[in-house]
Homo-oligomer: A and B are copies of this chain.
Amino acid sequence: MKLSTKGRYGLKAMIDLAFHYKDSPIPLKVIAERQQLSESYLEQLIATLRKAGLVNSIRGAQGGYMLSKSPDKITVGEIIHALEGSLAPIECVNEDSKVSCEKVENCVSRIVWIKVRDSTRALLNSISLADICKEAKLKE
């Protein structure tokens, strides 16, 4: 049940962008340094986020990345879904996938995994980047 570094690093980068929402655009190099992540690896992750419409980019010198919407309009659920794919804990409860198990109808354990999927999804969709920034500022 582990998340890969894609989701982890990607969320870190998005939180970084949310914190500096008004300073945009922010070069990837800066994010990578601040978050202590490999720049070229992060490049791949942010490309995914861009294709998912969660960040915008500006090319060339003085370019960089910025959130495509305000932090309260972007949820952790969207970010993780973009980077990790479905939140389904096993393939047979993944709606994005075409692969289906022929025993789906009378598979008993399936009920459990649907519940896990839905509860995780509901939780992550309920948390926005703005929420995280708020909580973080309280801690200071």
Contacts and interface: CB of A to CB of B under 8 A. Distances in A.
Given A109-B15, A115-B127, A8 B76 contact: no
A84 interface: yes
Contact of A15 (B108, B113, B119): B108
Contacts of A8: 90, 109
Interface residues of A, number: 34
Interface in A80-96: 80, 84, 87-91
Interface of A: 1-3, 7-8, 11-12, 15, 76, 80, 84, 87-91, 106, 108-109, 111-113, 115-116, 119-120, 123-124, 127, 132-133, 135-136, 139
